[in-house]
Amino acid sequence: MTTVRTAAIVLRHLYLVSGSPARMLPLFAWVAIDMVLWGFITKYLNAVSAAGFDFVPVFLGAVLLWDFFTRVMHGVTMAFMEDVWSRNFLNIFATPLSISEYVGGLVLSSIATSSVGLVVMLFLASSIFGLSFFAYGIALIPFLLVLFLFGIALGILGAAIVLRFGPASEWFIWPVPALVSPFAGVFYPISTLPRWMQHICWALPPSYIFENVRAIVAGGTASVSELMVGAGLAVIDVILVCWVFVRVYRHSVRTGLIARYSAESVS
Amino acid sequence: MTNVLAVESLSKQYGPTTAVDGISFQVARNEIVGLVGPNGAGKTTTINIILGVLEPTGGSIRIEGIDVATERSRALECTNFAAVYAPLPGNLTVYQNLRIFGMIYAVKRLSDRIERLLRDFDLERFRDVKAGVLSSGEQTRLCLAKAMLNEPHLLLLDEPTASLDPATAQDMRAKIRALADERRCGVLWTSHNMYEVEDVCDRVLLLSRGKILLEGDPKTLPRAHGKDTLEELFIAVARE
């Protein structure tokens, strides 16, 4: 693995983002709008609910963490889609670049872009709505880490789906976070859900995070064992989707999909 | 002359369709080999297999003695290509494209190399222009500049002058000829322009329905088969 090749993929993405307001704005605009919207919703709920319960760390904190996960996933997918949109597969894959260098570049690009969103969200949530992440204590680190890993996993899975089924399948990818959110218990305890949904919840790493966010806000402590299960699942997911991506790539090389993607396009 | 590319019994099957049918050929250093044939003959399929973006059904490819199937990255480090159907990303500038691909090919002293290529391919004034707004001829020059970034030992060109005006095409042919002569580079060149093939290629392979039907010096091959020109020979083969 050559770091300079991975750096090339990151640099490509930085060139694209820095040279295009249409790419720059979504890095922070949508998450900023989410923070403002949910910030005022939580303030309103605080005003009308029984005294003593603070909705800010429950809802606004959850939205912030969920948006972070979404930005990470979309960060990977966006970096990949740039090659789809510019019909660059043949140029990219007919080079010495290995799949691990390429995927590594997508992940690093996502870290760079999602960090911008995270900083903006933290600034708005703390300065305007008084959300303090110190309230989560040291558990904030595994919270962010697990959501980051799961975002990477879904981002790579999204890239594999688009590579396998063609550019039009990108429309399967963007709504994935919305599809996952009812099962992740972002806004409500998992116990609220019917039994069959709970089975799915416990297979998703974010469920363990949001259960523990609520536990801390309720005055309890984070469960180390639950966070370890969440982290373990996230690591397994990353390994699994990397395997899937390599399988899809090999299938594309065997069938000529990579070459046709650029030369003729696949509808 | 030692071979930079050795293709052995190469075949590619798409279901019942045979795109490439057990072809074998070599490209030596300093040699430009023309790969010509009618549409669908298997030229682009052959190039895609050599580039490692298409898996062959059978056979082997060695670039500088390195097996593409088992050491793809190492084999492609000394290879590059330009194809009329693979323009560089239009949303990046000329300079950005060259920098990114230069990094991917791990080119040493990259900045100097880019400046040299911008000069050689008359792209200096387009340095900060997005590739997508260049004319097709300028985009082709950019693709050729990209193909020269790593001073390849094997250069694959799929109709490289298709969108160039005659004067620029002649300049490009001269540059590629010079590269082959001075840098000990082997070139595999597909074209539908038989005059170009006759002018620039040392050897020509005439491909039809996935097989090499004829092979030889493009200047003497037509006479050997009772034709006056390579174009006449091509048409006769294509209509068989």
So where are chain B's domains? 1-41+48-77+208-240, 82-181
Hey, do B1-41+48-77+208-240 and B82-181 end up sharing a CATH topology, with the first three levels equal?
A: yes
Contact between B100 and A5 using a beta-carbon 8 Å cutoff: no
Q: Is the pLDDT of residue A262 over 70?
A: no
Q: What is the pLDDT of residues A214-250, one digit of tens each?
A: 999 888 888 999 999 999 999 999 999 999 999 999 9
Distance from CA of A84 to the nearest CA of B (A): 10
Question: Which of A27-36, A70-79, A126-135, B39-48 shows the lowest per-residue confidence on average (mean pLDDT)?
Answer: A126-135
Tokens at residue B210, please?
């996935």
- Cα–Cα distance for residue pair B157/B187, rounded to 1 Å: 7
Mean pLDDT, chain B, whole residue set? 92
Question: Which of A130-134, A204-208, A263-267 shows the lowest per-residue confidence on average (mean pLDDT)?
Answer: A263-267
Q: Which residue has the tokens 């009772």?
A: B226
- Cα–Cα distance for residue pair B240/B228, rounded to 1 Å: 18
Contact between B101 and A8 using a beta-carbon 8 Å cutoff: yes
Q: Is the pLDDT of residue A197 over 60?
A: yes
Interface test with B, best of A91, A248, A254, A258 (most B CBs within 10 A): A91
Judge whether B31 and B5 are in contact, CB under 8 Å.
no
Q: Is the pLDDT of residue A5 over 60?
A: yes
Contacts of A88 in chain B (CB under 8 A): 88-89
Contacts of B45 in chain A (CB under 8 A): 256
For residue B8, give the H/E element and its range: strand B3-14
Contact between A254 and B55 using a beta-carbon 8 Å cutoff: yes
Tokens at residue B30, please?
């300093």
Contact between A259 and B88 using a beta-carbon 8 Å cutoff: no
Handedness of CA B144, B150, B154, B156 (dihedral sign): negative
Total number of residues shown for chain A: 267
Q: Is the pLDDT of residue A263 over 50?
A: no
pLDDT on residue B172: 86
Q: What is the pLDDT of residues B183-236, one digit of tens each?
A: 789 999 999 889 899 989 999 999 999 999 999 999 999 999 888 899 998 888
CATH code of domain B82-181: 3.40.50.300
- Cα–Cα distance for residue pair A229/A221, rounded to 1 Å: 16
Name which of B8, B9, B25 is nearest B186 in CA terms: B25
Contact between B106 and A4 using a beta-carbon 8 Å cutoff: yes
For residue B176, give the H/E element and its range: helix B166-182
Distances (CA, A) of B29 to A70, A95, B5, B6, B189: 52, 21, 9, 11, 14
pLDDT on residue A264: 37
Distance from CA of A230 to the nearest CA of B (A): 36
Question: Strands B154-158 and B17-28, how do they pair?
Answer: unpaired
**Beta-bridge partners for B83:** B158
Contact between A8 and B14 using a beta-carbon 8 Å cutoff: no
Reported ipTM exceeds the 0.95 cut: no
**Apex CA A84: angle with CA A82 and CA A86, to 5°?**
65
Q: How many CB atoms lie within 10 A of CB A37?
A: 12
Does the CB of A219 have a partner CB in chain B at under 8 Å?
no
Judge whether B30 and B186 are in contact, CB under 8 Å.
yes
- Cα–Cα distance for residue pair B34/B85, rounded to 1 Å: 18
Question: Residue A90 contacts by C-beta under 8 Å, 6 or more apart in sequence?
Answer: A258, A259, A261, A262, A263, B48, B51, B53, B83, B85, B86
Tokens at residue B220, please?
């003497």
Distance from CA of B1 to the nearest CA of A (A): 26
Q: Is the pLDDT of residue A134 over 80?
A: no
Strand segments, DSSP code E, in B159-237 are 186-190, 203-208, 211-216
Judge whether A114 and A73 are in contact, CB under 8 Å.
no
pLDDT (mean) for B9-32:
94
Judge whether B73 and A98 are in contact, CB under 8 Å.
yes
Q: What are phi and psi of A164, to 5 degrees?
A: -80, -40
Q: Which CATH number fits domain B1-41+48-77+208-240: 3.40.50.300, 3.30.470.20, 3.40.50.170, 3.30.420.40?
A: 3.40.50.300
Judge whether B60 and B12 are in contact, CB under 8 Å.
no
Question: Strands B79-83 and B3-14, how do they pair?
Answer: unpaired
Distances (CA, A) of A183 to A40, A206, A213, B217: 25, 9, 16, 68
Chains A & B: contacts with CB separation below 8 Å: 95
Residue of chain B minimizing CA distance to A12: B100
pLDDT on residue A266: 42
| Option in B74, B83, B106 nearest A5 (CB) | B106
Contact between A91 and B44 using a beta-carbon 8 Å cutoff: no
Q: B178 falls in which pLDDT band (50, 70, 90)? A: confident
- Cα–Cα distance for residue pair A201/B67, rounded to 1 Å: 47
Query: Torsion angle, CA of A35/A61/A206/A219, rounded to 10 degrees?
Result: -170
Interface test with B, best of A14, A15, A16 (most B CBs within 10 A): A15
Q: What are phi and psi of B158, to 5 degrees?
A: -105, 100
Q: What is the pLDDT of residues A63-118, one digit of tens each?
A: 999 999 999 999 999 999 999 999 899 999 999 999 999 999 999 999 999 999 99
Percentage of residues in chain B with pLDDT exceeding 90?
A: 73
Tokens at residue A182, please?
């009812």
Tokens at residue A252, please?
């594309």
- Cα–Cα distance for residue pair B25/B159, rounded to 1 Å: 19
Residue of chain B minimizing CA distance to A1: B73
Does the CB of A265 have a partner CB in chain B at under 8 Å?
no
pLDDT on residue A168: 87
Distances (CA, A) of B87 to A21, A47, B83, B131: 24, 59, 7, 9
pLDDT on residue A142: 92
Q: What is the pLDDT of residues B72-118, one digit of tens each?
A: 999 999 999 999 889 999 999 999 999 999 999 999 999 999 999 99
pLDDT (mean) for A40-51:
85
Mean pLDDT, chain A, whole residue set? 91
Residue of chain B minimizing CA distance to A7: B103
Contact between A15 and B100 using a beta-carbon 8 Å cutoff: yes
Does the CB of A258 have a partner CB in chain B at under 8 Å?
yes
Judge whether A218 and A54 are in contact, CB under 8 Å.
no
Task: Name the interface residues of B facing A (CB cutoff 8 Å).
Answer: 14, 44-45, 48, 51-55, 72-74, 76-77, 81, 83, 85-93, 96, 99-101, 103-106, 146
Contact between B85 and A86 using a beta-carbon 8 Å cutoff: no
Interface test with B, best of A4, A81, A95, A101 (most B CBs within 10 A): A95
pLDDT on residue B188: 96
Contact between A90 and B74 using a beta-carbon 8 Å cutoff: no
pLDDT on residue B1: 57
Q: DSSP code of B132?
A: G
